[in-house]
Structure 1
């Protein structure tokens, strides 16, 4: 067998801009994923709506409503200013924000090292559009692969705007894509959909499963999937559990004929979810400053279960382990420890 064949592969330069995993980059992208939660989209106060709500409130309720809803909205005359300041402190400039149909993201750049970041906002429990996107777990067949319908629809709301902006932006900057929770799912879909030569890497935090294993076959950009100790969101939607249930239902169809109908529906509409990318597992911290945190690459499922049992992490802490601030705290501590 001759070397360097087929020759056609030599004519195309290798993708040298694709980036390996970095502790400091993982921390930086977690900060960006956290910034995406800032309500940078401008909001206009509907004074008539406010007046109607105040009409049926007592003094205490009025005070609480004004403090939580009206005054913060009034302060956001230009929501972009709320995100510009923290970006500037890290050397970044805000390029553009995207907001449509309950999906938000922002694009920022840093001139010193020609670095650009596209960060997607994650799930907000108070936003109906986010909740609907998370719950719509039916699979859509797309180009030979299967993908979460809710996540795909959420990305489509701002896909055209992002693609238009990146066309004007050019390939001068190495582009990183990131997001937490729902934002992580959107980041993975964006990584596949955009498929640009300047895509350096995708970092996700507490991301749910997005699609079938075939969905990831065409993704060339490295995906680094960071999971915190007891975070329950990366276990959703169920993967192998649904497939085992389908097999069980088909096994008992001779006893319960209707089970085949249920099995077929699950197989066609819900089953097949897999994670994509290289996983990094953040261990449980006992030290208040998380100085004892470890980051384990591609830890097995059984090893994760053993660690949860060993550290007696209760189920009620699953939600707190999902928060982006917990990821930021641990990754900052780990990056500092590794930097010496």
Structure 2
């Protein structure tokens, strides 16, 4: 056969009749910078058109050449398993549950970086100049098992995937389920996409920091979305997570594909970006792979016992008649658990089921509704931890009802026999969940409790509550509709008879708006240690003593009206963002965390509050009868004295906050020591939403979100 004929297109009619040898194919793997050193020394397998295999290793520049193969295209594979010594990879490869088929190629691709910091493919690679054929490939193109790998990303230089599928049908050797087709007698250059992912940066320090305050507010809100796996039940071969926002899309596709997600609620208009770390793909917050050919537990024949990502990462109690919802995922340093707050009538009924029941996992008594919700998800969490916990920090977060459940979960895990977990808890607008004995027993649990302005939910259950919801619900409705009669029913359902009072657990962080005029205002985050500021609890306590252990109707309705302060998108997330941005500016300017102007406004408000407490005390004394103070009047005076003492400590704390100088650890915790720290902060700061330099880091206003500002610096009128 003539030389000219041999050089004809490989799919000519004559080719099938005369598969001559003597052909060559060269290829080189490069990164997005055009450098092949990243892939030097990797093992490869090439199969020619008659099924002949050729193996070898790339040279130090990522180059190899196959000589004297049969005529026609060849298929390149790079499927050799990673056998290095790095422990995180060995742990993933050898773990008992869902071991990952990590290859040498994946390991190398995880050590490379994107040319563009946003992860978009480069339009022109310098290595194109040396190539006869240039293609952009991903690790999944070259390896057999790809269920654990990131989703494909669009590319300008597509590999010949159609040709790969058709080679067997056209008679060119065996069928190929994976690999890249290389053109014969040409130099092929393959640009391998880096295997990097984004993960929300978190501090594993127990100490409170502004970074965790903001990041976990976003994660707590994300728990309100669906997992959005498709198909949701009985998947056959693949699963997808297309819905944005959703838990599955965040961790299974967007962040795994290096996309900066910001939407945690489908109605959200304001962009709140997390601070992201750029990490090797294997260190992302993992969504487990789904591959029935590789994992027996994924096979559809398992029926109701079939495992797939949704039922491993996502808890939804609807199947059992409840509505508790949570998600869990992990990487090599953190297990993240987020519990959803009230989102349905079933959740609301649990909220008001305030009967105290024994906390069987520890000491004391707890709110029955919250406890039932915790017990519903307990086995789900323990199964996950038994499979994937290998010493990581367990970070738990939750909003509202989710915060109460998260507290019970955290304390139960802390007390779990035979295991020592390192637990960190952040809650947002959480109600009281346990009595004083429970709170005292949970002293060693690290819990940072965020309260926003006049959020009413942290004020319940009141310390005196031990409620039966069947009386509570109609009583509450009657309060609004028919006044005093409803209050009697309400009180009958809520009065605690015996037992210890409900108490809050954790270190409070109170976000307090400070308004200077109609257009200029700011807010500070601190722990005032004053019940009057925390949520008008002093007023409620004094009124229920004066009226016979029942709450004040006006105070209750005022708190219900202030419900916007309880919302995550409208209040808690903007407040957390404002705190982070404010603390960043404080650090940059080497200034105090509270300005002199703010200090004066808050101090004046505290003085006003103090005067109102004394005025109330004078009224109580003036009303004393000839035989002296009654039992109720004495109790009221004692409560006033305790509140005045707290107010004095609050003023002292304000002085401390006034002169406080922040450090990098105050703002970012242990994350400040991460190798990617500077790049992560710079990435976040490049978003227009995070570049505003305002004197007081005012809370970002959202269009039509109904966000309410305090009528006074401390909203004193709603307190007393």
TM-score calculated relative to the size of structure 2? 0.34
2:496 alignment partner, SS class:
helix
Aligned residue in 1 for 2:525: 295
Q: Which structure 1 segments of 5+ residues have no match?
A: 1-16, 46-74, 243-261
Contact 2:436 2:500 in 1 (8 A): no
Measure the CA separation in 2 of the matches of 1:316 and 1:265: 17
Q: Is 2:409 the partner of 1:185?
A: no
Residue 338 of structure 1 pairs with residue 338 of structure 2: no
Q: Distance in 2 between matches of 1:41 and 1:270?
A: 44
Structure 2 match to 1:103? 324
Q: 1:76 to 1:279 in 2, by over 3 A?
A: same
SS state of the match for residue 132, structure 1? helix
**Matched residue, 2:449:** 225
Structure-1 separation of matches of 2:454 and 2:510: 10
What SS does structure 2 have at the residue aligned with 1:188? helix
Give the secondary-structure state (helix, strand or coil) at the position aligned to 1:293: strand
Partner of 1:69: none
Q: How many Å apart are 1:80 and its aligned residue?
A: 4.8
Aligned partners of 1:316 and 1:226: how far apart in 2?
19
Higher helix share: 1
Of the three residues 381, 386, 397, the one matched with 1:162 is 381
1:210/1:78 Cα in 2 relative to 1: closer, same or farther (>3 Å)? closer
Q: Deviations over 1:304-328 (max 9, x none)?
A: 469xx9xxxx656511100012111
Counterpart mapping for 1:2-21 below 5 A: 19-21=206-208
- Give the secondary-structure state (helix, strand or coil) at the position aligned to 2:354: coil
- Separation of aligned partners in 1, 2:225 and 2:457: 21
Taking the aligned partners of 1:173 and 1:102, their CA distance within structure 2 comes to 29
331, 352, 373: which one aligns with 1:135: 352
2: CA distance, partners of 1:214 / 1:235:
19
Report deviation, 1:23.
Answer: 1.1
* Matched residue SS, 1:102: coil
Displacement of 1:184: 0.2
State the structure with more CA Rg.
2
Q: 1:39-54 counterparts in 2 under 5 A? A: 39-40=226-227
CA distance in 2, matches of 1:264, 1:228: 28
CA contact (8 A) 2:434 2:502 kept: yes
Aligned equivalents of 1:282, 1:174: Cα separation in 2:
27
Q: Matched residues in 2 for 1:130 and 1:263: separation?
A: 22
Please state if 1:201 is matched with 2:424. Answer: yes
Identify unmatched segments of 5+ residues in structure 2. 1-203, 233-241, 261-275, 278-283, 288-312, 467-490, 540-557, 586-720
CA 81–206 in structure 1, closer or farther in 2 if over 3 Å, else same: same
Residues 455 and 563 in structure 2, CA contact (< 8 A), matched pair in contact too: yes
CA contact (8 A) 1:278 1:298 kept: no
Secondary structure of the 2:505 match is coil
Alignment partner, residue 237 of structure 1: 461
Is 1:283 aligned with 2:512?
Answer: yes
Q: Secondary structure at the match of 1:283?
A: strand
Residue 123 of structure 1 pairs with residue 367 of structure 2: no
Give the aligned CA root-mean-square deviation in angstroms: 3.7
Instruction: Identify the structure with bigger relative contact order (alpha carbons < 8 Å, sequence gap 6+).
Output: 1
- What are the residue-to-residue correspondences of 1:64-83 with 2, within 5 Å? 80-83=247-250
Deviation larger for 77-86 or 90-99:
77-86
Specify the SS of the correspondent of 1:319.
helix
TM-score between the two structures when normalised by the length of structure 1: 0.68
Residues 207-234 of structure 1 deviation map (CA, whole Å, 9 limit, x = unaligned): 0000101112332221111000010000
- Once residues 244 and 568 of structure 2 are traced to their aligned partners in structure 1, the CA distance between those partners, rounded to angstroms, is 26
Match of 1:24 among 211, 229, 234: 211
Q: How far apart are residue 141 of structure 1 and its match?
A: 2.3
C-alpha separation in 2, matches of 1:129 and 1:264: 19
